[in-house]
Structure 1
Amino acid sequence: MKILYATTLALALAACAEAPVQAPPAVPMADSFRDVPPGWSAASDKAPMLPADWWKMYADPQLDQLQQQLIDNSPDLASALARYRQAQAATGVLRSAQSPTLGASLNSQRIRQSDLKPLRGATSPAEYNSGTLEFDLGYEVDLWGRISKQVSAGVAQERAANADLAAARLSLQTQLADTLLALRGADADLKLLRETEVAYKRQADLITQRHNGGTASGLDLARAETQLESTRSQLRQRQAQRNTQEHAIAALVGANAASFTVAPMDSNAFVTPAVPLGLPSQLLQRRPDIAAAALRVAAASDQVGVARTALFPSLTLNAAAGYQSSDFDKFARASNLFWAVGPTLAVSLLDGGRRKAQIAGAEAQLDEAGQRYRSVVLTAFQQVSDQLSLLTNYDEAAKSDHLAATAAKRALDLAQKRYDEGAASYLEVVTAQTAYLQSARSELDLTTRYRQAGVQLVKAIGGGWTEG
């Protein structure tokens, strides 16, 4: 009766241990994004989500092929998937505590007793057999919600791991697109440098002929040779950069860099579509890393509840049954049957403050998870704002760069004409050549960075991820 009374009292007090799951901390929210690029739609709550295969917006068959290869072969993506499967398995382990446990044991022994064994009966044999077949059934009653909270925390961690997988996939996909854009920019730069090398070689040959004929000075020849060799050096350096970018793509898609190649393509064929912008508040639902951080706050909140339940008693229902005999030939007889059944109510009366310290530690972990959530959200807004600012300002800078390159080409043509007419020194030509090459390369570089900012914006708004 005492155990029954204690059990009833425990069930009545169970609600006292329940604690609501704590929501993530609030983060300051803006009404809209600033620096939206010209021609783009302003942020709207009706903005469509990006598709899961967002890279197809760029209409690039080579990018499509590489993205599929990344999904199929990337070791980093496979590692993230394995971590998610680990989280699934861990949740399964936690769920198992909600079910009864059944165990079985079979013991068979030949025993020799000591002649001087205390309390040994006079008729007790010195040697005898002992056989036991026992089944044990146990079930812990979840009085305070400890088990359910552990399962809830495990489910939240599993969902967070799934969001981590999505974040890893998106990060790898945007890294691949970004690196391919850098490689395309290198191809365009290499094309310009090769054309420039041919032009400088032709110019150097002409100056050499004039120098041999006595109509050009050695200084003009030295300047022409300097321009040519300097361009050749820049060409080789850019080729090295292009090779490392190709190797990086190989590693991303799970290929061997020694045999992997990416064929050069016209960079002008790569489009930069306008990315649909949702409202800043919608960013909380669009990014997998934010979802993962929020889920870890929920898991940490559940763990606080788990730590608090340690202050209350635990109730376990136990049952055991089986056969026990010293005669193996007559083992499975009804007379050899034994059983035991009854609840166990246990509570820790003195632990030196261990449980209070565990609660304090769980609450500190909850605070940490909350601050991490705030950090992830604030970083997300920073990343979106950064990429929008880059796109807006790069767009304006590109116009100026194009005008500068056009003016530099016109200045080069005029300087070359003046030199051919004998109205200017070759230094004027060299200066114009240097200015034009720098302006043209700057325009190509800015175009690449603008396109990369577009890809990074896709990552910043969460790609095409939706929580399943």
Structure 2
Amino acid sequence: MATAFPRRTGVCLALLLLSGCAVGPNFHQPAAPADAAYANVPADGRTVVEADIPGDWWSLFKSPAIDALVRRSLAANPDLAAARAALRQSQELAAADHGAYLPSVDVAASTSRARNPNVLASPLQSNQNLYTLHTGQLNVGYQLDLFGGVRRQAESSSAAAEAQRFQMEAAYLTLTSNIVTAAITEASLRAQIATTRNSITAQTQILQIMRGRQRLGDAAEADVAAQRVLLAQTEQSLPGLLRQLAQQRDLIAALTGQMPDAQQPDIDFAQLSLPQSLPISLPAQLVDQRPDVRAAAANLHAAAAQVGVAIAARLPAITLSGSVGGASTDFASLLAHGNILWSIVGGLTAPIFDGGTLRHRQHAAEAAYDEAKAQYRSAVLAAFQNVSDTLAAIITDRDALKTAEQAKRAASASVTIARGQARLGAIAPLQLLNAEQAYWQTDLTLQQARAAVYSDSAALFQAMGGGWWHRNDVVAG
């Protein structure tokens, strides 16, 4: 008897040591690719390498109207609300799986009225055949996590919640980027509509002059016809711009959680400022800043843990359970000393034959793990492609904007000269109108080029991750 206690202690310690292991691959956060780099980095003073991104990056456009739209969309957009609800759901499911670490405790109570036939012995000590039996007991159950199946499941659920968190961040970033881009597009369309109307006015005046000259025999029919075609083409472009403006306002209403007929502020380019500097994070930081890459990493973590769950399902499992309570025909004496009942049960289960079901489930989990690895790699490559594409657009669109600004300055100078000559009678009014028409055409091109550069700036903030790590609500969602 002297060795019984140490032997039992040794068995308990062995079980505790076994419960500290967990089968399956241990997840490690993937590092940034060693050869990570961007292409097409602008060599100018407006792009700042290794600069941080503010959480409210849209405020850099210095537009109260955009700030108001973003606030409204964050409060009322249904897609973002759905993403937040999905995050709460995944967090609660993760918390539920973590509850499996602890024993389960429940209480049961019953009352039964029964009568035994005379040919059967009464189950009661009093030998009464007609009786009421009250029973109550407390049940405790616990599964020893010998091979870490429970822990791996909780780990997988936590990783799934982490993936949902970053999916919510991606939805947040996409929403704010869409709002800013939509506002820029609306401002551009308003400027293009105003320019087109001015161009139509100038072309109409030119056509009227040419018709007058035709009546005097000073202009050919072909020249008048060509001017009519030019005017018709310009007029034809106006309804399309008006349609785009209406659709853009409908889009903004939907993004802000409103019906299309809701009142919205008009967005004009005069209300916008181009950010003075654009941040470019170091390539090694991009994988930590992009919500889509972080979500892919979390999905990889969840898939790795599921391999452990599948392996543990093929190994033995030990369960412990116990109950204590009482039974009596008199409720008042339910827990009297003689009426106490209790039991302690230990169980061991181990799969022997299941037709290969558990083995194939393990192989499926391993295949899902390989799939998650490839998807993470794809997300990283897409992130660097996205940044490089945006930087290339910034370079080309800035060049296009400079060219458009030069063209407008030249056209403006031409109009100024033409007006001076017209006052002196050195040129005909038609030549002045032609110069004004050329000016409006260059102005239309300038508005389009300006919108592209503004949109590129918003796209770069989005490509760099949007500064979600600076927001106070980033963890709670």
TM class by shorter chain equals: 0.7 to 0.9
Distance 1:129 1:78 in 2: 55
Offset at residue 239 of structure 1 (A): 1.0
Offset at residue 243 of structure 1 (A): 0.9
Structure 1 residues 430 and 353, CA, compared in 2 at 3 Å: closer, same or farther?
Answer: farther
Offset at residue 395 of structure 1 (A): 1.4
Distance 1:199 1:42 in 2: 40
Distance 2:345 2:296 in 1: 44
TM-score, normalisation: structure 2: 0.85
Structure 1 residues 30 and 279, CA, compared in 2 at 3 Å: closer, same or farther?
Answer: farther
| 3-state SS of paired residue (1:97) | helix
Offset at residue 118 of structure 1 (A): 11
| 3-state SS of paired residue (2:181) | helix
Identical columns (%): 28
Q: Which residue of 1 aligns with 2:182?
A: 179
Q: Which residue of 1 aligns with 2:165?
A: 162
1:99-178 correspondence runs (5 A): 99-113=102-116, 127-178=130-181
Q: Which residue of 2 aligns with 1:258?
A: 261
Q: Is 1:87–1:158's contact at 8 Å kept on the other side of the alignment? A: yes
Distance 1:355 1:405 in 2: 72
1:34 to 22, 36, 39: 39
Distance 1:104 1:452 in 2: 63
Amino acid at match of 1:33: Y
2:58 to 37, 55, 60: 55
2:318 to 315, 328, 333: 315
Structure 1 residues 317 and 377, CA, compared in 2 at 3 Å: closer, same or farther?
Answer: same
Deviates more, 1:262-271 or 1:405-414: 405-414
Amino acid at match of 2:45: W
Q: Which residue of 2 aligns with 1:274?
A: 277
Runs of at least 5 residues in structure 1 that lack an aligned partner in the other structure = none
Offset at residue 435 of structure 1 (A): 6.6
Structure 1 residues 430 and 227, CA, compared in 2 at 3 Å: closer, same or farther?
Answer: farther
Q: Which residue of 1 aligns with 2:229?
A: 226
Deviates more, 1:251-260 or 1:441-450: 441-450
Q: Is 1:293–1:373's contact at 8 Å kept on the other side of the alignment? A: yes
Tell me if 1:21 matches 2:26.
yes
Render the CA deviation track for 1:148-170: whole Å, top value 9, x for unaligned. 22222222221221111111101
| 3-state SS of paired residue (2:52) | coil
Distance 1:66 1:285 in 2: 28
**RMSD in angstroms over aligned alpha carbons?**
3.7
Structure 1 residues 89 and 237, CA, compared in 2 at 3 Å: closer, same or farther?
Answer: same
Amino acid at match of 1:110: R
Q: Which residue of 2 aligns with 1:339?
A: 342
Render the CA deviation track for 1:8-66: whole Å, top value 9, x for unaligned. 6655555665445233667744464332224236764xx23211111111111111111
Render the CA deviation track for 1:324-370: whole Å, top value 9, x for unaligned. 13455654433222111232222222222222112111111111111
1:197 to 182, 196, 200: 200
Q: Is 2:133–2:328's contact at 8 Å kept on the other side of the alignment? A: yes
Distance 1:120 1:76 in 2: 63
Render the CA deviation track for 1:235-287: whole Å, top value 9, x for unaligned. 12101111101110111111111123331423584314322212111101111
Deviates more, 1:214-223 or 1:253-262: 214-223
Render the CA deviation track for 1:375-417: whole Å, top value 9, x for unaligned. 1110000000000011011112223334445566778999999
1:79 to 82, 94, 97: 82
Structure 1 residues 431 and 3, CA, compared in 2 at 3 Å: closer, same or farther?
Answer: farther
Distance 1:216 1:114 in 2: 124
Tell me if 1:453 matches 2:441.
no
Q: Which residue of 2 aligns with 1:349?
A: 352
| 3-state SS of paired residue (1:276) | strand
Runs of at least 5 residues in structure 2 that lack an aligned partner in the other structure = none
Q: Which residue of 1 aligns with 2:252?
A: 249
Distance 2:446 2:64 in 1: 25
The total of aligned residue pairs comes to 463
| 3-state SS of paired residue (1:144) | coil
Q: Which residue of 2 aligns with 1:68?
A: 71
Deviates more, 1:198-207 or 1:277-286: 198-207
Tell me if 1:381 matches 2:391.
no
Distance 1:355 1:362 in 2: 10
Deviates more, 1:81-90 or 1:336-345: 336-345
Deviates more, 1:376-385 or 1:106-115: 106-115
Tell me if 1:399 matches 2:399.
no
Deviates more, 1:391-400 or 1:407-416: 407-416
Structure 1 residues 17 and 161, CA, compared in 2 at 3 Å: closer, same or farther?
Answer: closer
TM-score, normalisation: structure 1: 0.86
Q: Is 2:149–2:308's contact at 8 Å kept on the other side of the alignment? A: yes
Offset at residue 77 of structure 1 (A): 0.8
Render the CA deviation track for 1:421-468: whole Å, top value 9, x for unaligned. 9999x8x99998887655443332122112211111111110102275
2:467 to 440, 460, 464: 464
Structure 1 residues 127 and 98, CA, compared in 2 at 3 Å: closer, same or farther?
Answer: same
Structure 1 residues 108 and 446, CA, compared in 2 at 3 Å: closer, same or farther?
Answer: same
Q: Is 2:116–2:122's contact at 8 Å kept on the other side of the alignment? A: no
Q: Is 1:24–1:373's contact at 8 Å kept on the other side of the alignment? A: no
Amino acid at match of 1:184: A
Q: Is 1:247–1:260's contact at 8 Å kept on the other side of the alignment? A: no
Distance 1:114 1:423 in 2: 127
